[in-house]
Amino acid sequence: MVLAGAAFFMGDYHNDVYRKLLLWVTLALGYNFLFGICGQVAFSHFAFYGMGAYSIVIFLFQFHLPLPIAVICGIALCVLFALAVAIPSARLEGFYLALATLALGQLFIVVLNEGGEITGGTGGIANYRLPEIFGLRLRGPWYTAVIALLVVATYAVLARLDRSWFGRACRAVRDNPEAAAAMGVDVARTKVIAFTLTSALAGVAGMVYAFVDNTVNPPIFGIDNAFLLLFMVIVGGAGRHAGAVIGATLLFLLPFWLSPIVGHHQALVFGVLVVLAILLQPAGLVGIYDRLVRR
Amino acid sequence: MKLAAMLAAALFATAAQAQDSIRIGVITDRVGVSKPYAEPATEGIVFGANELNKKGGVLGRKIELLIEDDQSKPDVSAALARKLIDQGAVFILSVSLSPATQQQQTVTMEAKTPQMTPMNSADYLTTQLNNPYFWQTGPLGSVQIATLLAHAKTKSLKRVALITDNSELGQAIAKAFRAGLEKSGIQIVDEEVVSNGSTTATPQMQKIRGANPEALFVAGVVTATNVLIFKSYRELGLKFPIHASYNLSVPIYMTAAKGLVDGITFVDAYDPDKPEVKAFEAAYKKETGKDPANLHGYGYDGMMLIAAAIRKAGSADKEKIRAAMQTISYAGVMGAKGMTYVFPEGKRAGFDPNGMVVRVYEGDRQGRVVHVGQK
Amino acid sequence: MQDFFELAVGAAASGCVYGLIGLAYLLVLRPTGIINFAVGEWAMLGAFGGFVLLTKYEWPYPLGMVVALGILFVIGGSTERIVVRPLVEKGAPLLAPILALLGMVVVYRETISSVFPPDPMPVPYALGMGRLEFGPVGGTYQSFFTIGVTLAVFTGAWFFFERTLAGRAFEAVALHRRAAALMGINLSRVMALSFGAGAVVAGLGGLLVAPNTSAYYLMGVPLAIQGFTALVIGGVGRVEGALLGGLLLALAEQLTVRYAPIPSGYAQGVPLVLLMVFLLLRPTGLLKAKG
């Protein structure tokens, strides 16, 4: 509630940044589950974000499906792709999965660029609006409220899972797959479910993103952002939801703060800061918080 | 460093009359893929603003530039556009990627703030969204191919090949080239794409050779990739003429592609013999000690166009500026001799379709103008 | 058919560059288990070194090459010292140095971007622009130079790992760190050397490819991905794997563009699809590791 209410007090610009920040937090939470809790290094998260965004726009405006059907189709699409990637790669060692998903991410961009009429090619698609839901037009701060809802819902789902036996199974798989198997956990199935679930969540976030600027185009979903997502979760503290939130907030807002101060060299400073963060606190910033609390 | 000093000077000059200044937002790219174009264009804008301020500003008020860096990330772009509007910018200049400019439009349309790109040449920018607050004064891809064809017409081409890179703008320009060629009834016998980051363009050039074209049209905009294409061309000993997009007008080719560009024709929006250009070059050199390139001219013209619109509107009110800009007629640095920027009835692409020139590389230097306009 | 021979040498040269980058990964990976994505940026640094020394200051090629590579050795070693060593000594999980090195990718790239103008910079050919023809097969001097140098490097690397005591020490560290330390092998020296050597090899790759592609600040990431793909295809078990993988990748890339009946825009997908196929079907690569 607080998150949503805050939206009404901010100007347009801040609202926009806030919205995007919330979306990144959503993504980071999901990614944290996949990477931090389940131990799978994947670079495809952002591709699913893009898949969700593009699919809803295409289903709504190219195929003219009604909104609820479009949403379901979009989710179905993400789930399908996720399964297609997850099932064969369940057998792969951690870093091979990373590679395969990196390749997937890039392939996605290639398809987007070459997609011609359907994906709008290199220019993307613009010129659309969120259709009315039950006769309501969601704009501005109201839309921010929707996003806030998304974040909270994602967090709730993931936190629940985390505490359940599934979460424990994931951790077991992350720390020691052989031991987990010995204890009766179906390693492959756990991995596949975790991957598919978080990818679908990313897809949903993507659908919401499509209407933030009412534009989708290939550069938005590039691999640079996939790396950024990884950095966010690491710097914040992998494995902890709070870590994902802190990391996402910090790394997303950092360029905005740095820009006025350092101007030209903002990306360099950013890189240095990230390296320093990893060097000084490999457990992530949330580790610092832990230490303070323990005192 | 000069940029920072100039910027500081501009800001300092306006700090004294902060509340009285006219704020112009600039969204550029300092770290991403658009940097090679965005950086010089921004320098041109800053130079223009400084020049204006030295003469007392516009309508007696100083110009204050608010410069933001969008890293060629379109969603950051849109957020920055909002930031600039919140900060009171009455006009936004976009010199970053075309999709970034596009994404900013959603914002400027909603916020009814005038926006212009003095440089992007993608045709879809004024057609995909019906945004009355947006103008484009960069040379459109469609204008480029039409001008090239008008020059090449004398050679009565029938079969040509088309090659480009896989960047967003490269694809957009290739699309425009394709349309222009087909409209002229010229057959495209082969079409190739070279990925940015490739180590060679030879397989693509071999395919082109196999199709036996009379000429090759290069629509690519990434210098490194175009260099690869030219290298393969020489390696394979190919002889057909090359006609290239405006990317070839970037001066770096004279050093990065030594020995490779002799004889290539390209379109440019810069005629070095034009008196406005000579004046611009002299003034720029005097102020900064460096020679400007044509890219600086785009930014400079953008700034000057805005100033002219504000003067014509007689105020810094966004609606009045919008009306003034739509009906403006201004002769700038870019374009062929005698060209003015005009936005004909309701259209928002202002670069005169007859305003490009075709030039030829002579040796390693950008040579003379051999053709003007589309006739 | 003539096209194929024409492509052959050029593709082999590209493959050699990929192989060198793959080797750079390998040199760091074997003793430390760290995947260093910054090798692409090291290659870029080699290219810029070539630009500064050879184009701008016009030093003779051999001298410029040696000095540029020497600088890269220092850069590699210091990266290890500053960024990797503290993490390893703190006992951080293996992922931490990998991520720190990813951060370094940004640092390297932005440093170059701040110092040099954003346009591509020319780097001279080693032996000038010219062609050698052996019957149907022909290629530029640069291609042959690249192939020759790469073969020399790989032979040296193979020799080092197979025949020398120091090379065996590397292997020992790769197999079991503790045992290696107990046997008196200086772990930190091995690590520093491996990073330095990796930087030199990567820089060499960059220097060799730059006369064709020009030196520009964005060239690192594509090379890093191509080198990695080469490694996966060839197998991480043996040094020769990187070279084999590189050659196969380059041939696949270029032959697909030349002969496959798909629009060349999709040809970019070829290395990616190849990578995914290999990862799924044969993640250990083509060449099996020894013993």
Residue appearing with tokens 């197979």 = C162
Give the mean pLDDT of chain B. 83
Indicate the residue of C14, C264, C268 with minimum beta-carbon distance to B199: C14
Q: Count CB neighbours of B346 within 10 A.
A: 7
One domain for residues B184 and B305 = no
Confidence of residue A37 (pLDDT cuts 50, 70, 90): confident
Q: Do residue C214 and residue B256 have CB atoms under 8 angstroms apart?
A: yes
User: What would the pLDDT profile of A77-134 be if each residue is shown by its tens digit?
Assistant: 888 888 887 777 777 666 677 777 877 887 887 777 766 666 666 666 766 666 655 5
C-alpha B316/C-alpha B21 separation (Å) is 10
Q: Do residue A213 and residue B71 have CB atoms under 8 angstroms apart?
A: no
CA–CA min distance B310, chain C (Å): 34
Answer left, alpha or beta for residue B160, where phi above 0 means left and psi between -120 and 50 means alpha.
beta
Domain annotation covers residue B245: yes
Q: Do residue C257 and residue B250 have CB atoms under 8 angstroms apart?
A: no
User: What would the pLDDT profile of C147-189 be if each residue is shown by its tens digit?
Assistant: 889 999 999 888 887 777 777 777 676 666 666 666 666 777 7
CB proximity list for C189: less than 8 A, separation 6 or greater: none
One domain for residues B67 and B102 = yes
pLDDT at C19 over 90: yes
pLDDT reported for residue C199: 93
Q: Does any CB of chain C come closer than 8 Å to the CB of residue B207?
A: yes
Q: Which residue in A has a C-alpha nearest to residue B31's C-alpha? A: A267
Residue A220: DSSP 8-state: G
Domain annotation covers residue B349: no
One domain for residues B147 and B38 = no
One domain for residues B92 and B182 = no
Chain A residues near residue B74 by CB distance under 8 angstroms: 213, 215, 217, 219-220
pLDDT at A282 over 70: no
C-alpha A160/C-alpha C41 separation (Å) is 42
C-alpha C36/C-alpha C197 separation (Å) is 13
Half-sphere exposure of C193 (CA within 13 A, CB side): 13
One domain for residues B150 and B128 = no
Residue A202 structure tokens: 């990313």
Confidence of residue C291 (pLDDT cuts 50, 70, 90): very low
Residues of C with CB under 8 A from a CB of B: 3, 6-7, 10-11, 14, 17, 110, 113, 117-122, 129, 131, 140, 209, 212-214, 216, 218-219, 221-223, 250, 253-255, 257-258, 263-265, 267-268
CA–CA min distance A280, chain C (Å): 8
User: Which of the residue ranges A137-141, B242-246, C224-228 would you say has the lowest mean pLDDT?
Assistant: A137-141
Indicate the residue of A11, A219, A259 with minimum beta-carbon distance to B86: A11
Residue C81 backbone phi and psi in degrees, to 5 = -60, -45
Q: Count CB neighbours of B129 within 10 A.
A: 17
Contact C226/C271 with Cβ under 8 angstroms? Answer: yes
Contact B348/B134 with Cβ under 8 angstroms? Answer: yes
pLDDT reported for residue A122: 62
- Closest to B325 in 3D by CA, of B303, B309, B343: B309
Q: 3-class secondary structure for chain B?
A: CHHHHHHHHHHHHHHCCHHHCEEEEEEECCCCCCHHHHHHHHHHHHHHHHHHHHCCCECCECEEEEEEECCCCHHHHHHHHHHHHHCCCCEEEECCCHHHHHHHHHHHHHHCCCEEECCCCCHHHHCCCCCCCEEECCCCHHHHHHHHHHHHHHHCCCEEEEEEECCHHHHHHHHHHHHHHHHCCCEEEEEEEECCCCCCCHHHHHHHHHHCCCEEEECCCCHHHHHHHHHHHHHCCCCCCEEECHHHHCCCHHHHCCCCCCCCEEEECECCCCHHHHHHHHHHHHHHCCCCCHHHHHHHHHHHHHHHHHHHHCCCCHHHHHHHHHCCEECCCCECCCCCEECCCCCCECCCCCCCEEEEEECCEEEEEEEECCC
Q: Which of C99, C113, C236 should one mutate to test binding to chain A, selecting the residue with the greatest count of A CBs within 10 A? A: C99
User: What would the pLDDT profile of B61-109 be if each residue is shown by its tens digit?
Assistant: 888 888 888 877 777 888 888 888 888 888 889 888 888 888 888 888 8
Report helix angle C95-115 to C220-234, nearest 10: 140
Contact C143/C15 with Cβ under 8 angstroms? Answer: no
Indicate the residue of B69, B85, B171 with minimum beta-carbon distance to A121: B171
C-alpha B144/C-alpha B120 separation (Å) is 13
Residue A225 backbone phi and psi in degrees, to 5 = -70, -30
Chain C residues near residue A270 by CB distance under 8 angstroms: 106
User: What would the pLDDT profile of A47-88 be if each residue is shown by its tens digit?
Assistant: 888 888 888 888 877 777 777 788 888 888 888 888 887 777
For the entire predicted model, the pTM comes to 0.81
Confidence of residue B16 (pLDDT cuts 50, 70, 90): very low
Please report, as a single letter, which amino acid is at residue A1: M
Name all chains with 3 or more CB-CB pairs below 8 Å to chain A. B, C
Task: Tell me what the mean pLDDT of segment C71-97 comes to.
Answer: 82
Indicate the residue of A12, A123, A220 with minimum beta-carbon distance to B82: A12
Interface size between A and C, measured as CB pairs under 8 A: 96
Q: Do residue B168 and residue A126 have CB atoms under 8 angstroms apart?
A: no
Q: Do residue A122 and residue B167 have CB atoms under 8 angstroms apart?
A: yes
CA terminus-to-terminus distance, chain A: 32
Chain-centre distance for alpha carbon A209: 11
Confidence of residue C21 (pLDDT cuts 50, 70, 90): very high
Domain annotation covers residue B347: no
pLDDT at C200 over 90: yes
Residue B173 structure tokens: 């320009």
- Closest to B179 in 3D by CA, of B213, B217, B153, B138: B217
Which stretches does DSSP call E strand in A57-134? none
Per the structure, how many domains does chain B have? 2
Counting every residue, how long is chain C? 291
Q: Return the ∠ at Cα A69 (arms to A65 and A71), rounded to 5°.
A: 105
Domain annotation covers residue B352: no
C-alpha B308/C-alpha B324 separation (Å) is 9
Answer left, alpha or beta for residue B335, where phi above 0 means left and psi between -120 and 50 means alpha.
left
CA–CA min distance B153, chain A (Å): 30
Q: Do residue A275 and residue C272 have CB atoms under 8 angstroms apart?
A: no
CB proximity list for A229: less than 8 A, separation 6 or greater: A24, A27, A28, A31, A45, A46
Q: Which residue in C has a C-alpha nearest to residue A106's C-alpha? A: C272
Indicate the residue of C14, C120, C219 with minimum beta-carbon distance to B227: C120
C-alpha C168/C-alpha C163 separation (Å) is 8
C-alpha A18/C-alpha A253 separation (Å) is 9
One domain for residues B215 and B116 = no
Strand partners, B115: B92, B134
CB proximity list for B315: less than 8 A, separation 6 or greater: B59, B321
CATH assignment of the domain containing B318: 3.40.50.2300
Q: Do residue B68 and residue A259 have CB atoms under 8 angstroms apart?
A: yes
Chain B segment 32-61 residues within 8 A of C by beta carbon are 33, 35-36, 39
Strand partners, B118: none
CA–CA min distance A227, chain B (Å): 14
Indicate the residue of A123, A212, A264 with minimum beta-carbon distance to B98: A123
Q: Do residue C6 and residue B206 have CB atoms under 8 angstroms apart?
A: yes
Report for A6-10, A241-245, B47-51, B367-371: range of highest mean pLDDT: B47-51
Q: Does any CB of chain C come closer than 8 Å to the CB of residue A49?
A: no
Strand partners, B159: B187
> What proportion of chain A, given as a percentage, has pLDDT over 90?
0
One domain for residues B101 and B38 = yes
Query: What are the domain boundaries of chain C?
Result: 2-116+142-281
Contact B89/B107 with Cβ under 8 angstroms? Answer: no
Helix (H) or strand (E) holding C30: helix C2-32
Answer left, alpha or beta for residue B134, where phi above 0 means left and psi between -120 and 50 means alpha.
beta
Residues of B with CB under 8 A from a CB of A: 4, 30-31, 68-69, 71-76, 78-79, 82-83, 85-86, 97-100, 102-103, 105-107, 111, 122, 124, 128-130, 166-169, 171-172, 175
pLDDT reported for residue C283: 66
CB proximity list for A6: less than 8 A, separation 6 or greater: A18
For chain A, how many helices (H) and strands (E)? 14, 0
One domain for residues B148 and B110 = no
Contact B242/B214 with Cβ under 8 angstroms? Answer: no
One domain for residues B66 and B116 = yes
C-alpha A192/C-alpha A179 separation (Å) is 18
Q: Return the ∠ at Cα A258 (arms to A257 and A260), rounded to 5°.
A: 85
Specify the 3-state DSSP secondary structure of A136.
strand
Structure ipTM: 0.81
pLDDT at A295 over 60: no
Half-sphere exposure of A277 (CA within 13 A, CB side): 25
Indicate the residue of B68, B85, B124 with minimum beta-carbon distance to A123: B124
CB proximity list for A294: less than 8 A, separation 6 or greater: none
Structural domain for B363, as ranges: 142-268+357-372
Q: Do residue B166 and residue A113 have CB atoms under 8 angstroms apart?
A: yes
C-alpha B334/C-alpha B314 separation (Å) is 25
One domain for residues B160 and B123 = no
Domain annotation covers residue B322: yes
Domain annotation covers residue B130: yes
Please report, as a single letter, which amino acid is at residue C190: V
Q: Does any CB of chain A come closer than 8 Å to the CB of residue C251?
A: no
> What proportion of chain B, given as a percentage, has pLDDT over 90?
2
pLDDT at C20 over 90: yes
Answer left, alpha or beta for residue B346, where phi above 0 means left and psi between -120 and 50 means alpha.
left
Confidence of residue A199 (pLDDT cuts 50, 70, 90): confident
Q: Does any CB of chain C come closer than 8 Å to the CB of residue A87?
A: no
pLDDT reported for residue C257: 79
One domain for residues B236 and B336 = no
Q: What is the CATH number of domain C2-116+142-281?
A: 1.10.3470
Q: Which residue in B has a C-alpha nearest to residue C221's C-alpha? A: B197
One domain for residues B217 and B366 = yes
